[in-house]
Structure 1
Amino acid sequence: MPLNLDLNIDVKSLGKVAVLMGGSSAEREVSLTMSGPGVLKALQAQGVDAVAFDPSERELGELKALGVARCFIALHGRGGEDGTVQGALELLGIPYTGSGVMASAIAMDKVMTKKVWLADGLPTPRWVTLRPHEQQPERVRLVPDELGLPLFVKPPHEGSSMGASKVSGYSQMQEAVELAARFDSAVLCEEFIEGLELTCPLLGEGETAQALPVIQIEAPEGKYDYQNKYFTDVTQYHVGRLSEAQEQEIRALALAAYRSLGCRGWGRADLMLRKSDGRAFLLEMNTSPGMTSHSLVPISAKAAGISYEQLCLWLIAQARLDSSKA
């Protein structure tokens, strides 16, 4: 599936760019030390007048005083990926990268995302939501009867596997729920799909959106957690391992999921390909994916012939407001 991206961008037309990094979420470290600096360096190397800006240390209103024309959102997690900073930039009238307010807010909530996908007939693993009053042992111990074992327990509003656990036995349930509850008031318990762990980046908007090559993630003992995502080199990423038919199927499903949520700019759909029958299931949509040396979108883009620098430049060129015409 060839990509159709216009990479001929007039750098001077972009104006001054602020790369938003850091923030106050649990993923601040990754944004501040990896994604943000990587994007900033890539843009500056191509002649973009780009500066770093940490919203947790400065008021967003300062962007106007700095003469910022558009923002590259390299924030992850709550406060950066959930529609809040997008809403602030809408009020300031400063175009930004990635999805708008509504799509960002929905995609940040894994439970709401699942509900939207189900309404559109898209496959996602079965789940149980445990609200604060449902996290007592007598309720928690019933979840494996509903979803089977093993299963995953995670906070529905966090990324990078923060607070997530794979539960293999009834005795592990309460501890897993308590861990997830440290990050969120509600807890998401999700059916475990045994098979290949896949991810598919998306670029663009609406009917013109395009899917990048699918990546198969191979983590040690299947443990693709926070440490193995960002701080080790043991996780392997494979492009081109699927059959042509599987590749096309996964890309089409990822695009449908992206469009269903109303995403734009870029995103990354995480999926599982079930071993028993080859059926794909959508796990979540990331609307502000990582941009580190380990990150999946740059790996996929490279496989499609797009360099990290070209990707960053293309993304900032797509920056816009909800109120502007697509």
Structure 2
Amino acid sequence: MKVAVLMGGWSAEREVSLTSGRGIAQACRNLGHDVVEIDMGRDVAQRLTEAAPDVVFNALHGTPGEDGTVQGLLDLLGLPYTHSGVTTSAIAIDKELTKLVLVPAGIPMPKGVIVSSEGLFDADPLPRPYVLKPVNEGSSVGVAIVTDSSNHGNPIRRDVPGPWAEFPTLLAEPFIAGKELTVAVIGDRALAVTELKPVSGFYDYDAKYTDGLTVHECPANLPAGITEACLAHALAAHRILGCKGTSRSDFRWDPDQGLAGLYLLEVNTQPGMTPLSLVPEQARFIGMSYEQLVETLIDLALAETGDRP
């Protein structure tokens, strides 16, 4: 087949997307496919039309590749593509919309409030400790944990670097002590639970994508009931949101609270495919090579349209 790998773009996650895309492109070549690598620019529609691929492997992260924008373009061009469609992508990248869909369906998520960044300089929106994060970003971009001992000030000072300097509105959530967990779903199967153990600090952008800064324990050493709950919640979220191909659900679990301390934080519809990424790692755990993972995602994309040559 002719596979166009769409990567790069202009989001805060551009470099991660390029790394994912290059790995995917090489895997496609190893599988015998004809590959066109496209670093997305404003001329992306023209380049895709000229390439005329059988399928597009969407390796973009962040906006506009993960929020429904590129998905809508690909639908207009009539090109099959990997991962989720327009509506699912638009909902899942918005953390507040995700809560509105998943919480009524019984998925436990932290209660959050949308706050004005300007208002943070007057008073805390929640009792400390709490977390501030952009509503529409992934990969822990712009996340800040505000504690009594943090150097952000009380209230937060204008001159302190943080997401309040980059985003006019933020999502504030209570900080959940404990373990960082994640579950990948491929097709209709939740694979495993991985515990992420940063060497220092928390699981931020650098910890995710810098070798040696985070230890991955897969499968996580958890009580059976917590493992089962994580797998069930991830699969349920994948289905409720209408995810296609693969997704990754991130959790926090406070062991002192038992099952009541388990919360789903967000669902990522365009998980990374880098050497440090979690979906390929969990795929390996179940015996699926990187090439087999790429081929599976292509097959799932084409199964939606029945277009596989």
Establish whether TM, by shorter chain, passes 0.5: yes
Q: Deviating runs (4+, > 3 A) in structure 1? A: 175-178, 181-185, 320-325
For the 8 Å contact 2:121–2:157, the answer to whether it is kept is: no
- 1:136 and 1:196 map into 2 onto residues whose CA distance is 27
Does residue 1:253 correspond to 2:253, yes or no?
no
Select which of 203, 219, 237 maps to 2:186: 203
**Which residue is equivalent to 2:134?**
155
Could you say if the C-alpha distance between residues 126 and 54 of structure 1 is closer, same or farther in structure 2, counting changes exceeding 3 Å? same
- 2:155 and 2:298 map into 1 onto residues whose CA distance is 43
Select which of 17, 24, 49 maps to 1:39: 24
Q: Which amino acid aligns with 1:135?
A: G
Q: Which amino acid aligns with 2:224?
A: E
Q: How far does residue 182 in structure 1 lie from its aligned partner after superposition?
A: 4.4
Can you give the 5+ residue segments of structure 2 that lack an aligned partner in the other structure? none
**Which residue is equivalent to 2:121?**
137
For the 8 Å contact 2:251–2:265, the answer to whether it is kept is: yes
Does residue 1:50 correspond to 2:32, yes or no?
no
**Which residue is equivalent to 2:177?**
194
| Identity between Structure 1 and Structure 2 (%) | 43
Output the TM-score relative to the length of structure 2.
0.91
For the 8 Å contact 2:4–2:38, the answer to whether it is kept is: yes
**Which residue is equivalent to 2:111?**
126
Aligned residues: 300
Does residue 1:223 correspond to 2:223, yes or no?
no
- 1:79 and 1:61 map into 2 onto residues whose CA distance is 17
The 5 A counterparts of 1:254-293 are 254-279=234-259, 280-293=262-275
List per-residue Cα deviations over 1:31-80 (Å, max 9, x = no partner).
Answer: 11x11101111111111111211122642232122121110111000110
Moved more, 59-68 or 276-285: 59-68
- 1:50 and 1:131 map into 2 onto residues whose CA distance is 45
- SS in structure 2 of the partner of residue 63 of structure 1: helix
For the 8 Å contact 1:158–1:183, the answer to whether it is kept is: no
Can you give the 5+ residue segments of structure 1 that lack an aligned partner in the other structure? 1-14
- 1:224 and 1:252 map into 2 onto residues whose CA distance is 23
Q: How far does residue 183 in structure 1 lie from its aligned partner after superposition?
A: 4.2
- SS in structure 1 of the partner of residue 168 of structure 2: coil
- 1:293 and 1:143 map into 2 onto residues whose CA distance is 38
List per-residue Cα deviations over 1:269-315 (Å, max 9, x = no partner).
Answer: 00111222223101000000011111000111111111111101111
**Which residue is equivalent to 2:49?**
64
For the 8 Å contact 1:101–1:322, the answer to whether it is kept is: no
Does residue 1:295 correspond to 2:267, yes or no?
no
